[in-house]
Structure 1
Amino acid sequence: MGSSILLGIFWHFVGATSAACFYAPLKKVANWSWETMWSVAGIFSWILLPWGISYWLLPDFWAYYGSFGAGILLPVFLFGAMWGVGNIGYGLTMRYLGMSMGIGIAIGITLIVGTLMTPILQGRFGELLASTGGKMTLLGVVVALIGVAVVSYAGLLKERVSGISVEEFNLKKGLALAVMCGIFSAGMSFAMSAAVPMHESAAQLGVDPLYVALPSYVVIMGGGAIINLGYCIIRLIIKPELSFRKDMSVAKGLLVTNIIFAAIGGMMWYFQFFFYAWGHANIPADYGFMSWMLHMSFYVLCGGIVGLILKEWKDTGTKPVRVLCIGCLIIVLAANIVGLGMAN
């Protein structure tokens, strides 16, 4: 396995770790509605960081974006909005199915759709089936799905031992949302593929290969921001029990603390895709679509590891932890299979 591929896998792991940890600081936010917290975190994640980093990278910020027509910018933006819909659906899926079942179904679907639809739409799926490396990478996708399923089963065992039940459990509604979330969350993978001309243009301007994808995040996350912020603002307006003004009127010390924790959470959410870009830059171009599989499977892996470190699995017995560890090892095996496939 080449050093570049290993580096790509490593950076995808770092990005997934940031994604798995981003909600920890948000849990420190007190006396705010979820909508206000998510909006403040999102301003840092979807607007300030993408714009600020791109402004620093590009020799002429406005000229760069002005050089692209609607034929390039619109698909990238719409796929970003698609990803934004998936973000909202993810939270609703957890509400109706619970964490374990919701994560298993939603992540499993988005892993498949986001990974395989790109080569299918490009007409390259047959080539993958015809080559040894392609077959190995596809085998890695299957093994990753098994790993996600095993980790989700471990979570289900944990919930049963802990006596956790889903108050609003609704199988029909939950499954529909999980499928929708899985498909729409893959919009980030599609957006990255649609943004290739933007990456190439950034490279021609002298932007380091590790960073060429980052300017496209202004457009991608702009689409996601409109969906997420729009959803939150509408709820803050129409729900009488929610009030942005009330959230902002908490004690000054708490207000500052809440903004800091929300900002940290938002920055961690952004940095998952910052390192996703680094990982993507080290993956062979013919296998760029595998970045999504690596990111999503590592997200599940890192979530399990973080849970163990934070002692969330304490007093659940040995079986759930054992099953979790087996699932994590399967995901690590999947990453190695994919790496070997890309090296062939």
Structure 2
Amino acid sequence: MGANPLIGVIYHWIGGFASATNFIPFRGIKRWSWEVYWLIQGFAAWIVAPLVLCSIFVPHTATILMEAPRHTIYLAMFWGILWGVGGITFGLSIRYLGLALGYAIALGFCTFFGTLMPPIFAGTFGTVLHDRSGQIVLGGLALCLVAIAVNGTAGYLKEHEVTEEEKADAGERDFSFARGLAVAIFAGFMSAFFSVGLSAGKPIGDIARAHLVADGRLDLWQNLPVLIVVLWGGFITNLIWSGILIYKNKSAAEFVGQPGRNPLRAAAVSGNTIAGFDPTDPSLLRLSTKTLIANYFLAALAGVIWYFQFFFYSMGQTKMGHFEFSSWTLHMASIILFATLWGVLLKEWRGTRSRTKMLVTLGVCLLIGSTIVVGYGNYVKTNETAPATISAHK
């Protein structure tokens, strides 16, 4: 199947919606510590979902991974491990900045670094700079940076306009713009290594494509085995960090019903989460079986939803033509867009002035504009290479 940037953009937007939605199930989890439900969602997102869905759409998944060069496996896992550090700190940025602003700033920087790193590591960035279509793509990336600045300004104003009561009601009891900004920049930089991992795992995708074509299947699924390997690395990092916190906080018993704390403060103070309880209350010594099952389900659901972002990302990447590295920009911009809309629905901007709300609206519009510009850059590149390809076959 050939390149089709329009279809690619649609896939990236679906993936962006899935990513922006993945934190929503966390809001329903009752009296569990962050490290407990984070580990469960991570196991569902980074181990179970990739293996199950890849096995459905890509026959001989185990054979493909065995045929892949060992150094490719190890390198993709290494970048996944570094990305895992970004995933951990990304959760902190949501804690300090809220859903909308945390996504906007952390993933804004992730967009910038993640789009540039693959061609820089591959040694092809000079070609991008001198190619007209590459310049258009970089222009879209610059527009995305402007959107980060606009959203950051809105966040700074919000901190000085919203009362502590309004922050608590929106589930933002720990809102801190300065602390959140520092964490978000680091999280964005480290999260960008996922893009590098996908590029490093390209030989795995090539092997998968050969198997798919031989079996008469769509090569649309060729990058699903790559996701398995990169996500293995991410799970290792998160498993280690969650294990450290579980040991430090003595929260292992929460897996079987002991109540705990929720430092992410994902939900409003409603009496349904630990934020609304006194943890020393003897009547709260154990969770009911119904609550425990619901917690497991919601944490796993969050993980599966999270995985679908890269399920559709891998499909969109196959459609973006020669400048597929710009897929990262499209993906990140769509996540920020939908996260901002979730923030509006969850009333995270209630209590701010009209000027601040206008800045948020402007930031969203700029993100949409950056997506259009990057998509157009890919369209130009596809048209540039098509005639040459036709002539080569004559």
Q: Report the TM-score, using the length of structure 2 for normalisation.
A: 0.79
Task: Report the AA paired with residue 282 of structure 1.
Answer: K
Which AA in structure 2 matches 1:328?
Answer: V
> Which moved further from structure 2: 72-81 or 120-129?
120-129
3-state SS in 1 of match to 2:320? coil
Instruction: Give the match for residue 313 of structure 1.
Output: 349
- Tell me the secondary structure at the aligned position of residue 267 of structure 1: helix
Q: Does 1:280 align with 2:317?
A: yes
Cα shift readout 1:19-45 (whole Å, capped 9, x = no counterpart): 111111111000111111111111111
The answer for the alignment partner of 1:200 in structure 2 is 206
Tell me: CA distance 1:336–1:176, structure 2 relative to 1, closer, same or farther (3 Å): closer
Find the aligned partners of 2:324 and 2:24 in 1 and give their Cα distance.
30
Cα deviation for residue 94 of structure 1 reads: 5.1
Aligned to 2:254: 246
* Structure 2 equivalent of residue 256 of structure 1: 293
Q: Hey, what does 1:57 align to over in structure 2?
A: 57
Contact 2:76 2:230 in 1 (8 A): yes
CA distance in 2, matches of 1:49, 1:316: 39
CA distance in 2, matches of 1:168, 1:221: 30
Aligned mates of 2:144, 2:295 — CA distance in 1: 37
C-alpha displacement at 1:99, in angstroms?
Answer: 7.0
User: Where do 1:104-253 residues align within 5 Å?
Assistant: 105-164=105-164, 177-206=183-212, 207-240=217-250, 243-249=251-257, 250-253=287-290
Q: 1:304-323: per-residue Cα shift (whole Å, max 9, x none)? A: 11222333333434222211
Please tell me whether the aligned partners of residues 99 and 340 of structure 2 are also in contact (alpha carbons under 8 angstroms).
no
Identify which range, 160-169 or 30-39, moves more after superposition.
160-169
Q: Which amino acid aligns with 1:201?
A: I
Q: Distance in 1 between matches of 2:92 and 2:112?
A: 20
1:324–1:98 Cα change, 3 Å: closer
Q: Does 1:331 align with 2:363?
A: no
Specify the alignment match of 2:267 in structure 1: none
Distance 1:149 1:170 in 2: 13
Q: 1:3 to 1:318 in 2, by over 3 A?
A: farther
1:119, 1:141 → 2: CA distance? Answer: 14
Task: Give, as a single letter, the amino acid of the residue that structure 1 aligns with 2:196.
Answer: F
- The count of corresponding residues between Structure 1 and Structure 2 is 339
Which sections of structure 1, spanning at least 5 residues, go unmatched?
A: none
Q: In the alignment, what sits opposite 1:24?
A: 24
User: In the TM superposition, what whole-angstrom CA distance separates every residue of 1:110-145 from its partner, at most 9, and x where no partner exists?
Assistant: 222211121122222222222221111110000011
- 1:93 deviates by 4.4
Deviation at 1:98, TM superposition (A): 7.3
Equivalent residue in structure 2 for 1:265, among 302, 323, 329: 302
Answer yes or no: is the 8 Å Cα contact 1:39–1:229 preserved in 2. Answer: yes
- Give the conservation status (yes or no) of the 8 Å contact 1:148–1:300: no
On the 8 A contact 2:105/2:148 being kept in 1, the answer is no
Once the 2 structures are TM-superposed, how far is the Cα of residue 223 of structure 1 from its aligned partner? Answer: 0.7
Shift of the 18–152 alpha-carbon distance from structure 1 to 2, 3 Å rule, reads farther
TM-align CA RMSD: 2.5
* 96 and 19 in structure 1: CA distance in 2 versus 1, 3 angstrom threshold: closer
